[in-house]
Amino acid sequence: MQMKVFSRLLTQNRIISDIIALFTNIKRIEENLLQLTNLISQYESVESVVLLSLDKKNNVLRKTSVSGNADSNSQWIPELINLSQNKNFYSLIITESLFLSEQIITVENVLSQRYNWIEMNDLLFVPLKLSNSLFGLLIVKYNDFAEIDELDESFFKTLSLIIALIFKRDSDNDSLEKALLEAENANKIKTSFLANISQEIRTPVNSILGLSDLLADPDLTIDQREEFITSITKNAKALVKIFDNILDASKLDAGQLTINIEEVSWSMLFKELASEYVKLYENNKVSLVISAQSCDSDIYLKTDSYRFKQVLSYVIENAFKYTESGQVTFGYEINDEQELIVFVKDTGIGISDDIKDSVFDFFKKKQDKYFNQSGSTGLGLALANNITNLLHGKMWFVTNVNVGTTFFIKFPNTLIRCVEDNNKISKNLKYPDFSSKTFVIAEDVEINYMLISEFLAPTRAKIIWAKDGKEALEIFKTSKPDLIIMDIQMPVMNGFQAIEAIRELDKNIPIIAQTAFMMDNEKQKSIEVGANDFIPKPIKFKDLIDSIKKHL
């Protein structure tokens, strides 16, 4: 009897030693898991062994390897066990060091019905866990289950601990490899970021130094000197802005960026920004379109005016940076919750799907033309988003590659002081009945369309939205509307082109042109191509209704 016990102990020690040796010098355990179960199946009275490893993401035990005679009796081998659907079974695994199949039948009727193999009474379950952290499960099928004793139980408990440690080491190695990879990527990203910063700084510095040397030439004319001085000033301002951005990024990272909340006139901020950027880009091949609502002089915000302007400046400058042709539209709306939503829409290169998640990150910029164009550091949008959060706002965007991007910035704490007057106007205004009429609103900016549509809602007219001139032309051909409200600045086909095309088909349908700036040449050209009337933005309700009544 003692010799038999001694023999079993020797076998146990050999199996344990072989398992430890098997996994001592390998990086990945998957390749040796079959050898692991082969070793265990060599233990006396063991017919077959199944190893299931834990898929933490899906919370299932998934079959990993099978050894012994399991192949000849494969009906009892589970492919996977869903722990979320079998909570009592999971509880057994967590609380017990070893348990038998009959215990499962008692606590988990659903599981026993789903898996016929559980009804076999010669299965030993060995959870692989450390401090309630589960890594997997061994299922051992015995030839003669009556022979299992305390020596066997001790052996399988030891095996459980060793195999769990092997899985934990593998998991730790994975985590370490991921951490090292992330650190390496972060280092590469920061190196690239610093290289871009260096390039952005070097460009204006080189210009300043070069032009300063040229100013020393006594033969320069006054005009040349003024030109050089203007260029030096421009580059110096650009350099200061780069340094300011870097400082703000550092302050944000340290939680030291200060915010000073006050009541601010949105009208003053909006007009100031609009005027500044209209002047800045007046000679640019990309046009700036301003889209505003009425009553803007009575909108106030509780915000930090400097930081507010800073956010909008970053977004507008970003739109121009990545738009080679077309237009940038800057506007706003007030939603039903009385929140200000500012938008900046461009017809630029758009943002690809694989970099959308990193647009607002300081350093996680992937190699993409949206971030690498013109040696950009990518600080602007990251700063804008972080400052917006500090102002208790929210920033997001919608984009299409090679079509354009629209950034939205929503600010709470908006105070509207013209609501009462608007109500009085609404009560005194008699809405015309256009219930038998169909109007087409050709407008590429959705909130502008929504504004006009809302204006016309009380008239009960049928409204059809065309998102560009080409779509307006197609809708005209198929729907035969009674009137068209045509925006001039639109993608695909602009308003002028659409009006001309419609006039070739119909000389009589009323067309009301609209645009963000009432330039004399635009008004004249609109009439020349066939528009019946011209209304500047922001559109006033009374002007729109009067024009429609006049031409219907």
For the residues of 171-233, what is the DSSP string, one character each? HHHHHHHHHHHHHHHHHHHHHHHHHHHHHHHHHHHHHHHHHHHHHT-TT--HHHHHHHHHHHH
pLDDT above 70 (res 364): no
Q: How many CA atoms lie within 13 A of 101 on its CB side?
A: 19
Highest mean pLDDT among 58-67, 138-147, 515-524: 58-67
The pLDDT confidence band at residue 119, using thresholds 50, 70 and 90, is: low
pLDDT digits (tens, 9 = 90+) for 301-317: 888 888 888 899 899 98
- For residue 497, the model assigns a pLDDT of 94
With a pLDDT cut of 70, the percent of the chain lying above it is 81
- For residue 363, the model assigns a pLDDT of 62
Q: How many CA atoms lie within 13 A of 183 on its CB side?
A: 6
- For residue 375, the model assigns a pLDDT of 45
* Helix spans in 407-460 (H): 419-428, 446-456
Segment 515-526 mean pLDDT: 69
pLDDT above 80 (res 439): yes
List the one residue out of 63, 64, 14, 61 whose CA is nearest residue 40: 14
Instruction: Give the DSSP letter string of 34-76.
Output: HHHHHHHHTSTTEEEEEEEEEETTTTEEEEEEEEESGGGGGGG
What's the DSSP call for residue 319?
H
Give the pair of three-digit tokens for residue 150.
């305390």
pLDDT above 90 (res 105): no
Q: What are phi and psi of 378, to 5 degrees?
A: 75, 15
List the one residue out of 135, 121, 129, 141 whose CA is nearest residue 77: 141
pLDDT above 70 (res 2): no
Segment 99-118 mean pLDDT: 60
Rounded CA-CA distance 530/528 in Å is: 5
Segment 131-144 mean pLDDT: 84
Radius of gyration for the alpha carbons in the chain, expressed in angstroms and rounded: 36
pLDDT above 60 (res 367): no
pLDDT above 80 (res 90): yes
pLDDT above 60 (res 199): yes
Strands 533-536 and 404-411: unpaired
Out of 141-155, 219-233, 365-379, least confident range: 365-379
Out of 106-115, 199-208, 344-353, least confident range: 106-115
118, amino acid identity: I
Segment 187-197 mean pLDDT: 64
Give the pair of three-digit tokens for residue 356.
């959308």
Q: For residue 246, give the H/E element and its range.
A: helix 222-254
Query: From edge to edge, which strands make up the β-sheet containing 511-515?
Result: 462-466, 438-442, 483-487, 511-515, 533-536
- For residue 513, the model assigns a pLDDT of 94
pLDDT digits (tens, 9 = 90+) for 13-31: 888 888 888 887 666 687 7
287 vs 175: which has the higher pLDDT: 287
Sequence-separated (6 or more) residues with CB below 8 Å from residue 387: 248, 252, 257, 307, 310, 311
Tell me the C-alpha to C-alpha distance, in Å, between residue 136 and each of 62, 161, 524: 8, 11, 78
Give the pair of three-digit tokens for residue 336.
């039903």
- For residue 414, the model assigns a pLDDT of 63
pLDDT above 60 (res 118): no
Highest mean pLDDT among 137-146, 201-210, 373-382, 457-466: 457-466
For the chain, what is the mean pLDDT?
80
List the one residue out of 343, 348, 345 whose CA is nearest residue 325: 348
Rounded CA-CA distance 545/552 in Å is: 11
**What pTM does this model have?**
0.45
pLDDT above 80 (res 547): yes
pLDDT above 70 (res 340): yes
The pLDDT confidence band at residue 169, using thresholds 50, 70 and 90, is: confident
Rounded CA-CA distance 104/98 in Å is: 12
With a pLDDT cut of 90, the percent of the chain lying above it is 19
Rounded CA-CA distance 454/434 in Å is: 14
pLDDT digits (tens, 9 = 90+) for 472-519: 999 999 999 999 999 998 888 999 999 999 999 999 999 999 876 545
Yes or no: say if 552 and 509 are a contact pair by the CB < 8 Å rule.
no
Out of 51-60, 359-368, 531-540, least confident range: 359-368
447 vs 489: which has the higher pLDDT: 489
Segment 98-103 mean pLDDT: 77
Segment 77-89 mean pLDDT: 80
The pLDDT confidence band at residue 354, using thresholds 50, 70 and 90, is: confident
- Residue ranges of domains in the chain, CATH in brackets: 2-177 (3.30.450.40), 185-254 (1.10.287.130), 262-416 (3.30.565.10), 432-551 (3.40.50.2300)
Rounded CA-CA distance 525/513 in Å is: 10
pLDDT above 70 (res 330): yes
Yes or no: say if 321 and 360 are a contact pair by the CB < 8 Å rule.
no
Tell me the C-alpha to C-alpha distance, in Å, between residue 166 and each of 30, 43, 53, 155: 11, 20, 12, 17
Segment 307-334 mean pLDDT: 88
Rounded CA-CA distance 344/385 in Å is: 14
Measured in whole angstroms, the distance separating CA 175 from the mean position of its chain's CA atoms is 25
